[in-house]
Each structure stands twice: as C-alpha cells, then as structure tokens.
Amino acid sequence: MYQVYGVRGNMEMEVDKEEREAGGSLLERIRQENDIKLIDRKDYGKLAEEIRAFLIEKISVNGGHLGSNLGAVELTMALHLSLNLPEDKIIWDVGHQSYTHKILTGRKDGFDKLRKFGGMSGFPKRKESECDCFDTGHSSTSISAGLGMVMARDLKGENYSVVSVIGDGSLTGGMAYEAMNNASKLETNFIIILNDNNMSISENVGGISQYLNGIRTAEPYLGLKEGVYNTLMKSKRGEGVVETIRRVKSSAKHLVIPGMFFEDMGLTYLGPVDGHDINALMRAIKDAKRCKSAVIIHAMTQKGKGYPPAERHPARFHGAEPFEIETGLPKKIREKANYTDVFSTVMCKLGQQDEKIVAITAAMPDGTGLKRFHNMFPERFFDVGIAEEHAVTFAAGLAAGGMKPIVAVYSSFLQRAYDQILHDVCIQNMPVTFAIDRAGLVGSDGETHQGIFDLSYLSSIPNMHIMAPKNKWELSDMLKFAVEFAGPIAIRYPRGEAYAGLQEYRSPIVYGKSEMIFQEDDICLIAVGSMVRVAVEVRASLKEKGYGCSLINARFVKPIDEEMIRTAFATHKLVVTMEENVASGGFGEKVRRIQNEESASGRKTLAKLLTITIPDEYVEHGNVDLLKAEIGIDAEHILERIFEII
C-alpha cells in the first residue's frame, strides 16, 4: 500500500514480521525514519498509545515538554507516514513538540538523556539528525524558514515537500504573518500545518485565537450543514434549493466557510481536521501536496491528550519538571523562593502602591511570575501573545501616555526586540522597566534559550541603564528603584533559586554606584548579579590561602561605576571581573577599557585584569552547574585561573 522507504535489508524486515506476528511492541520496530511505514494501518492507534506511554514515562523522569508532545502524536505520525524523510522537510515551530518526530527518526534511546548535558536536545537540531532540517527554539520562525527552503528547492530544480508545523500560540507572533504575506502569491507547493490546541503555554490570547476558536466551535454547525445538504438532495425540490444556496454562498462565504482569513491572504485553507485522526490527517496532507500554492491545514488537537493530569493542567505540563505518573505531582517540592517569585511578590506590592504601574508579558504570565499581578490588577496587566517586539513598543506607548510599564520577559526572547528597545524606548528616553528573567545560563533548554547576551545587546544602546541584583532583597530594591527612574532601565536576574546570602549587606541603590562588600588588598573580585554568589565562594578559598580579597557587587553594568573600578586597579594586584554574559560587549570588556585608559595615563602600579565571561560560543543544554564548570565560570575553575596569574 504505502511505499517502504526504509533502507534496512530484507532480513531485518523479516524480523519485523516475526515481531509483529508475536504481538510485540510496535515502538520497538521503529529504529529509523520511515520505519513507521512498516506498521499496519490498523495498528496506528496502538502505536500512538505506545508513543504516549513512552513520552509520559521518560518525561516523568527527566522533565520536558509533555503537553505539546502528547497533543502532536498523531499529527507527527501522519506526517511521517505521508512524507519521505530526510528528503522531505518538516520545520517544527519552537521545536518543543518534536519528541515524536525524534522517536520516529531513530532517537528513542536518546530520551534517557533528554535535555541532559551531552545528551539529546529537547529541540530539533541539525547536528543531531539529518531528519531535523532546521533548528528552532524561539517561536514563529517556521513559516519563514519553510518558505526559504521552498524557494531554494525550486531554484535548484529539486523536488521534495516542505512542511512547516506551527501552533496557534506561535501564530500570535508577527513573523508568522510576515511569512504568510510573503507566501501569498506562491505558485508552488508549500504546506503549513496549524496545530491548533487552543493554548499557548497559558491560555492563548488575542484576535487570531478568537478567530480560530470561532472555527473550532463552528465545526458542529458545519457538520449539521452537510446533514442538511444530504437531506435536501434526497427531497423532491432539494436540488433547486441547494443551487440557490450555492449562489448566495459566495457572498455569504465569509460566514460559512472556515479559514477565510487565510484564503483572503492568498493561502489555500484545508480543514478543520481532527488532529488526532491519522487517516483524516493523511488525506489532508495528500490533498495539500497537490496544491500549487501555500496551503494551510488546520488541525485541531488537544494539549496533553491521553494523560489526564496534563489535559487538566496544560500550563503546568507545558514544560514539566520530573513528576509522579500516578498523580502528576512534581517529584521534588520546591522549598526555596526563586527570583521569579520575588519579582512576583514585589510587583503585587508596587501595583498596590501606584496605580500607574502596568505589567506586560509576551505569552509568559506564569513563567515571568506576573500571574498574581494579573489576578490582582486585571486591567493593568497585558498579555500580548508571543510578540516581544510589539510588547516593547506597546510599553513605550504606555509610557508616552503617562503609565509606568514593566515588561517582564526572558533574556533570550528579548533579543527579538532590539530595534524596538532602541528605536521606540531609548531614543525617546521612555521610562520603561525591563524585568529580564532567565538571564544567564538556563540549563536544559539549551542554546536557543541561554540568556547570555543581554548585557551586550543592551549596553550598546544610549539611554539604557542596566542593573543586576546580588540576592533576593536586592532584586526587590532594584525594582522599586527602577519604577521611579525617569528613563529606560533593565534589571537582569537568573533562573532558579534566589540567593539569600549577604542579607546584612543591604545599602540603598544609588544611581551608577557599585557596592563594596569586603575591602582588602591583593585581589579584587568585581561580580555582576548572579556571580556575586560565586565570588563569595572564590573569596573564601583565596582567604584560606592567605590572600587579602575585596569583593565588589557591581550593581550597575550601565552606567558602570568608573570611579570604583579605577580605585580597584590602583589598590590591588589583580582585578577579577565575573559575569554570566558573553565577553563581547560585556562588563569585563568595559572594565578593560578603563584599565587601558588608566594605563595610558601613565599610572605605574596598575593591577592586572582577569575577565571571567562566557566564551564566544553557544552553550548547549544541561544542568546549569555542569555547564558552568564546563565553560569555566564556576568557583573551582575561576580559582584555577586566578592561581595561574598570581
């Protein structure tokens, strides 16, 4: 029936047959791409069940994106049954839903080390498999990338299918529309699958979500319409009535045909299709392949499908920590507050004190900790969808209108909005506060999500101010400082547990000033934000070895405390800067400039400088402590480097 593209020899195929006859696991028979085509059609449901059980088991141990993956099992199977990988290309938007694709392309064993250091990534990676044709991680890129591949294919006279799979949440991102706009006049085949589960991480928001919901709820009505049609056609004068309906249909088509929005944009719309019905999906893909245009298949799916806790709590199971399968409860109860919790609490207090305070998130109300603010001040909370660029300019507008906007955003996602920060916020010196969470290494999400560039990309922008807190109390103090500040200001803080050390050092935040925590001779450690904690450790070891060691909490990266740094160079033998940011454009580079100036001014006794930064490379996924050791920014490696110098 279906062509077998597997490249394994006949002998192995025989083994498959024997296994099949013995009624063994279907999943075991999938060892590489296209093996799924060896499975009997009647067994598709069983295979889907096995995949779900496998995903639940593995993610319950390692953590990972459960809900989106459970919802995309049949969709992925249908794609693999309909396409020929790796020749045909599937681009997974965001990429967090690509686990079944990984299983079906021979990477089942990789799930034992899913998202672990040295193990398999939780996102598509070209370096991992030739069946991953495009790396993703940030949302709404798949249609642009797919269209590019379509053009490359045609220019090279090649012949394969390109399919971009995008979720309804990701369809709130502007890039998706830029790409569809570009694809509207396409006269060649390009398939987009809209995986519509009616959810982003949290509830999806905005007009497109409302529109898709309309189609979703219209489905029974359309079914009824078909029923009416059949009944009419059976009656005596039915044909005439149907003809009349057909004539008015074109003017009324906006009311009765789903997907007109896409059709009007120049895309062919197919659907809605039940995204858990493999045969229906395969039929739709077959039809789509025939179109000489961009064609969008609208598949309705359910996030968390097949695992009741994930169906009931889609937001919690979007990115799950290890959990007990029976109950769905996390294996570890978090005892210590993280920086997001601190931000969340302070935001609620500030919201009570000042009615001008408004909060903005780009589809991350839970992740950024704004949920509580939302509950308390719904009218002053804005979830704008996965639209970081818009979020920033929207905040600039709010500031222009006299409000005090706080944009809560992850460091890596704010990269998107560089121009908006520069053009709409900073040129006009708008008082917008950026609460930048997940700044520094984030761990298991890897390269695309590490927040290691913000000091660099923000530093280069005139009028921008940047702070980083050493501990949880300082985050609170900085936030209070920021909302009263008359210009753009960013506070960057890391993922995870909020440091509760150095509580006794809580001097007021002074504009552009660092904080001297310990003052001694020999070595001066100047640490930014999260690295103060590491510096405390480094200092303890240096003291044990008999060195005098100052510790300065930088507090401000921009404006940098030049006076303090010049003094540090004049009064120590070695200055060590520490930051969780890449070298280029970071704090250490600024300190080196000051050192150069001091040296040019002819000062004789000038300390040497060691800059501890993230190297000029992308940092993979894995446990943050392991990653820090690997790239040499943990206490042990910093000490080694200090001893090399002294």
Ligand X SMILES: Cc1ncc(C[n+]2csc(CCOP(=O)(O)OP(=O)(O)O)c2C)c(N)n1
- What minimum distance in Å lies between the beta carbon of 167 and ligand X? 2
What the block records as the tokens of 469 is 């807190």
Q: What is the DSSP string of 121-138?
A: -SS--TTT-TT--S---S
- Kind and range of the H or E element at 540? helix 531-544
Tell which one of 55, 183, 363, 479 touches ligand X (CB under 6 A).
363
- What minimum distance in Å lies between the beta carbon of 96 and ligand X? 5
The smaller minimum CB distance to ligand X, of residues 302 and 567, is found at 302
What the block records as the tokens of 402 is 């006299």
- Kind and range of the H or E element at 435? strand 433-437
Angle at 76 between CA 75 and CA 81, to 5 degrees: 100
The smaller minimum CB distance to ligand X, of residues 168 and 424, is found at 168
Helices (H), 257-405: 260-264, 278-290, 308-312, 339-353, 371-376, 388-400
- What minimum distance in Å lies between the beta carbon of 156 and ligand X? 30
Tell which one of 303, 380, 533, 539 touches ligand X (CB under 6 A).
303
Of 152, 158, 58, 141, the closest CA to residue 103 belongs to 58
- What minimum distance in Å lies between the beta carbon of 34 and ligand X? 25
Residue span binding ligand X (CB under 6 A) among the ranges 27-35, 215-223, 357-365, 596-604: 357-365
Classify the phi-psi angles of 507: left when phi > 0, otherwise alpha if psi is within -120 to 50, otherwise beta: beta
Total of chain residues touching ligand X, rule CB under 6 A:
24
Of 494, 340, 342, the closest CA to residue 412 belongs to 494
Site string for ligand X, 410-429 (x = CB under 6 A): ---x--x-------------
Q: Which of 58, 116, 416, 558 is catalytic?
A: 416
At position 103, the amino acid (one-letter code) is I
**CA quadruple 524, 528, 531, 532: dihedral, nearest 10:** 60
Of 383, 449, 438, the closest CA to residue 203 belongs to 383
For the question of residue 388 being annotated catalytic, the response is: yes
- What minimum distance in Å lies between the beta carbon of 166 and ligand X? 6
Scanning the structure block, which residue is given the tokens 């300019």? 393
Q: Which of 388, 515, 579, 589 is catalytic?
A: 388
- What minimum distance in Å lies between the beta carbon of 216 and ligand X? 13
- What minimum distance in Å lies between the beta carbon of 318 and ligand X? 6
- What minimum distance in Å lies between the beta carbon of 495 and ligand X? 13
Of 344, 330, 259, the closest CA to residue 294 belongs to 259
Rounded Cα gap, residues 309 and 520, in angstroms: 55
- What minimum distance in Å lies between the beta carbon of 76 and ligand X? 12
Residue span binding ligand X (CB under 6 A) among the ranges 50-58, 166-174, 249-257, 450-458: 166-174
Binders of ligand X in range 117-156 (CB under 6 A): 138-139
Q: Kindly state whether residue 169 participates in binding ligand X, applying the rule CB under 6 A.
A: yes
Rounded Cα gap, residues 77 and 50, in angstroms: 12
Residue span binding ligand X (CB under 6 A) among the ranges 119-127, 191-199, 214-222, 600-608: 191-199
Site string for ligand X, 471-510 (x = CB under 6 A): ----------------------------------------
Please, what's the b/e burial string for 2-20 (b: 16 or more CB within 10 A of its CB; e: otherwise)?
eeebbeeeeeeeeebeeee
At position 82, the amino acid (one-letter code) is S
For the question of residue 303 being annotated catalytic, the response is: yes
Site string for ligand X, 547-586 (x = CB under 6 A): ----------------------------------------
List the beta bridge partners of residue 611. 577
Of 216, 218, 242, the closest CA to residue 228 belongs to 242
> Residues 495, 450: contact at Cβ < 8 Å?
no
Binders of ligand X in range 193-222 (CB under 6 A): 195, 197, 199-201
The smaller minimum CB distance to ligand X, of residues 129 and 142, is found at 142
Tell which one of 76, 97, 161, 164 touches ligand X (CB under 6 A).
97
The smaller minimum CB distance to ligand X, of residues 416 and 572, is found at 416
Binders of ligand X in range 370-399 (CB under 6 A): 386, 388
The Cβ of residue 57 has, within 10 Å, a number of other Cβ atoms equal to 12
Classify the phi-psi angles of 61: left when phi > 0, otherwise alpha if psi is within -120 to 50, otherwise beta: alpha
For the question of residue 416 being annotated catalytic, the response is: yes
Tell which one of 51, 83, 94, 535 touches ligand X (CB under 6 A).
94
- The 3-state DSSP class for residue 179 equals helix
Residue span binding ligand X (CB under 6 A) among the ranges 108-116, 149-157, 176-184, 359-367: 359-367
Residues that bind ligand X (CB under 6 A): 68, 94, 96-97, 138-139, 167-170, 195, 197, 199-201, 303, 318, 362-364, 386, 388, 413, 416
Active site members: 303, 388, 416
